[in-house]
Amino acid sequence: MKTTISNISKILLMGIATTFGWAGCQSGPKTGFTLEHQGDTLTLVHITEPARYLLLPVEERSAEGQVCLVTGDPADTDMDIRLAKEKTDYFVPFELPAGTGEATVRIRKTPQNALCWKEMKLSDTFDTANRDKFRPVYHHTPLYGWMNDANGLVYKDGEYHLYFQYNPYGSVWGNMHWGHSVSRDLVHWEPLPVALARDTMGHIFSGSSVVDAANSAGYGAGSIVSFYTSASDKNGQIQCMAHSNDNGRTFTKYEKNPVLTPFDGLKDFRDPKVFWYAPEEKWVMIVSADKEMRFYSSDNLKDWTYMSAFGEGYGVQPSQFECPDMVELPVNGDENNKKWALIVNINPGCLFGGSATQYFTGNFDGTRFTCDTKPETVKWLDWGKDHYATVCFSNTPGRVIAMPWMSNWQYANIIPTQQFRSANALPRELTMYSEGKDIYLAANPVKELETLRRETKEMPPFTVEAGKDVTIDTLFAGNDGAFEIEISLSAARTEVAGLRLMNGQGEEVAIYLDKKAGKLVMDRVHSGIVDFGKNSIPHEKEAHDNRIANSINYVDDFALATWGPLSGAADHTLRIFADKCSVKLFLDGGKVAMTNLVFPNEPYNRLQFYSQGGSYRVNSLNLYKLGL
């Protein structure tokens, strides 16, 4: 049996078994550790009995305290943890050194009367069994804690490595590490220990990995070499390198980091994407540099030379460029006609607010990217609101597989989950096609996802007349919210061809082809919980771009419909994927992809077809219950 996140959780369902208690200045048993309060803002936790973790109580609305394991090593690093002042939302494990049981944890900026001193406890185990109703069935999530961008995506020796922006000390943004999961089929993900931890140089921001087949960097042919941005107030944003000789399990940071700093002191200079440019046998690095992308080259992965920049004034204006990628693909499958697509994630700039992924098509001559279209042309990789920081796996010859983060910076920190926050969207294969004089990317769920199909219902064709809805009352018995719908339809004689995913609580997602407006629409206004930000209080000080504070414009940001372009053709195909907290559409072979979060109070289990201003024909309808 394959190891999956869900059965790993079961294996880890050990409970918080061994608790040694609390002590110090507070009342309670004096076993395991003592507290030494030095004034109101500095406390030393003296651990006197061996335990694997100090379990720290977190209250998400608290300000950050600084927690550090004191070993005397200059590498000792403070982690920002929102220790509970008044109530404990959940615990996070703070790992202690194995061995004698002697350790000191220094905690700053957490007042003496805070609740956390009473609640913290020693334990040899940490319970990662799922507690979140909205945890997806078949989308990747971290076992606990916060996740944003996919990082360092690389395929090697039969394994897909998914590293990701990770906070192991709370389910809101902070303490950027690279978390790590691995998969053999892009469907079942096995959680692995953190690959790169925040250090004294800074947070470990986003980046990429390559397999160094030719041993350019000197760590051995076939080593994985990863690039990330080290980000701190002290050093700014600088590009660093690390390598792994054990198939991506553990990394050694380069002792001479950074490998690249901005020549003009730019503040926003991050997310290095490295790839091999075969025609000139050299490495290329793309770095997002405020409102453009900068290109560098290298022979040894360590010394980088500036080549060019692209993007100033291109696409949605103004917007912050983040997380670049660039891929070369055959147009319409023609290997003799290849084009490059430069993927540029922007925040803000999404058509519907917040973050989104745009791309530019054109040529790359080894030095410079030139765009085929005018600067004002905008092409979207996805037309939903929850598709961001999308980058591709390296080392997947013959295939380009992209992995989005399924959220939006407007509200990512306050979505109604708690044990974890954020999932990845489905991995998708990118292809290129031409339409008229222009070239576009199509995005389709990877074919491996078909292995999720557990039960199939093939429905006979039918016609949907205006005013006469066709309803399938029960999609599946025991439907836990994970299903796929495949439809082909002819809609020449209607104005609106629509369907609704509904549950028993009057919540629904409406998906419709608006023929007049030329739009495919997904409406989540009545999808379930849409006002989750209502009670959120912005924190006074935020570590990164005031992102949590910016999340408070919640209702308009979340309760809305998104749309993508619909061609004038009569016939269309639609694939719909639903999971606990998301609905994704793929129209006409992935020409339009649309990814949106939803939080229904119970799974959608009814399907209703409706038509306005005419009738349409459903030529085929396949329903699949999905499961891991």
The residues of the shown chain that bind ligand FRU, judged by CB under 6 A, are 148-149, 165, 176, 205-206, 229, 270-271, 322-323, 389
Catalytic residues: 149
Tokens of 616: 């349409």
Q: Which two tokens stand for residue 248?
A: 């991506």
String of DSSP letters for 74-116: TT---EEE-B-SS---EEEEEE--SSSS-EEEEEES--TT-TH
Residues contacting residue 1 through CB under 8 Å, at least 6 positions apart: 7
Whichever of 118 and 544 has its CB closer to ligand FRU, that residue is 544
Decide whether 322 or 386 has the Cβ nearer to ligand FRU.
Answer: 322
Cβ(274)–Cβ(153) below 8 Å? no
Do 308 and 290 form a contact (C-beta atoms < 8 A)? no
Q: Which is nearer to ligand FRU, 164 or 275 (CB)?
A: 164
Provide the β-strand partners of residue 432.
331, 441
In the complex, which residue's CB is closest to ligand FRU? 205
What are the distances in angstroms from CA 63 to CA 54, 59, 69, 232, 540?
A: 20, 9, 20, 19, 8
Instruction: Choose between 148 and 181: whose C-beta lies nearer to ligand FRU.
Output: 148
Min CB(544)–ligand FRU separation in Å: 6
Q: How far is the CB of 412 from ligand FRU (least distance, A)?
A: 9
When the beta carbons of 413 and 479 are compared against ligand FRU, the nearer one is 413
> Smallest distance, Å, CB 540 to ligand FRU?
20
Provide the minimum distance between the beta carbon of 430 and ligand FRU in the complex, in angstroms, as a whole number. 19
How far, in Å, CA of 411 to CA of 431, rounded? 30
Residues 581, 96: Cα–Cα separation, whole Å: 35
For residue 530, give both structure tokens: 């849409």
For residues 240 and 283, what is the distance between their CA atoms, to the nearest angstrom?
15
d(CA 190, CA 487): 32
Q: State which residue, 229 or 298, has the beta carbon closest to ligand FRU.
A: 229
CB of 165 to ligand FRU, least distance (A): 4
Nearer to ligand FRU, 229 or 319 (CB): 229
Q: Whole-angstrom Cα distance, residue 116 to residue 522?
A: 44
The least CB distance from residue 545 to ligand FRU, in Å, is 7
CB of 15 to ligand FRU, least distance (A): 32
Q: Cα separation of 582 and 579, whole Å?
A: 5
With beta carbons less than 8 A apart as the criterion, state whether 603 and 461 touch. no
Kind and range of the H or E element at 347? strand 334-347
Q: Of the two residues 485 and 543, which places its CB atom closer to ligand FRU in the complex?
A: 543
Neighbours of 504 (CB within 10 A): 11
Diameter of the chain measured on Cα atoms? 78
Host H or E run for residue 10:
helix 5-11
The closest alpha carbon to 339, from 250, 268, 438, belongs to 438
Lookup: tokens for 300: 């040894």
